[in-house]
Structure 1
C-alpha cells in the first residue's frame, strides 16, 4: 500500500481488513507487535495504529500495557 486512504468509507474498509487479518481476537499485543504487523502494510504504522484505536477496532487499556482487537 502506498498511501492511507483519505475517504472515510475506504479507510474504514481498510482498517477492518487489517484488524481481521493481522490481529487475533482477545489476544494482547504489545505496541511493538502492533507496529511490526502494520509495517508489513505501510511505513506510517503509528497513523494506522491511531486509526485502528480511534475506529474502535483495537483497544488499549488505561494502563497502556497492551492492545486488543475487539470487533
Structure 2
C-alpha cells in the first residue's frame, strides 16, 4: 500500500492512474481487490464499484485498464464481468 499512497487520497480513493509500469499495475491491483471472487457483476455494478474508489470521474478508463491487465474478465458481449482467480 505504501508504494501507491501518492496515488490515493485520505479515504483510499484513487486520485490519478500512473502512466505506466509497476506503479500502474499496483494501483490497478488495489482497485481489483475491491471485487470479490466467485461473483459475477454487471457492467453497471462494475462501474459503480470503480466510481466509488476513484475521484477523477473516468470509470471507463479504469474498467478498460482492469480488463486489459487481466484483473477482470468479461463475456464477449460485456454482460458479465468477474475477478480473475489468479490474483490471490
Instruction: State TM-score, norm by structure 1.
Output: 0.87
1:40 is aligned to 2:48: no
**Separation of aligned partners in 2, 1:17 and 1:2:** 13
Please name the residue that 2:41 is paired with. Answer: 29
Structure 1 stretches of 4+ with a deviation exceeding 3 A read none
**Whose RCO is larger (CA < 8 A, sep 6+)?**
1
Name the Cα RMSD after superposition. Answer: 1.2
Instruction: State TM-score, norm by structure 2.
Output: 0.72
> Can you give the 5+ residue segments of structure 1 that lack an aligned partner in the other structure?
none
In the alignment of these two chains, the number of paired residues is 70
Deviations 1:9-48 (A, max 9, x none): 111001111111x100121000001101111122110100
Please name the residue that 2:64 is paired with. Answer: 50
For the pair shown, the structure with the greater C-alpha radius of gyration is 2
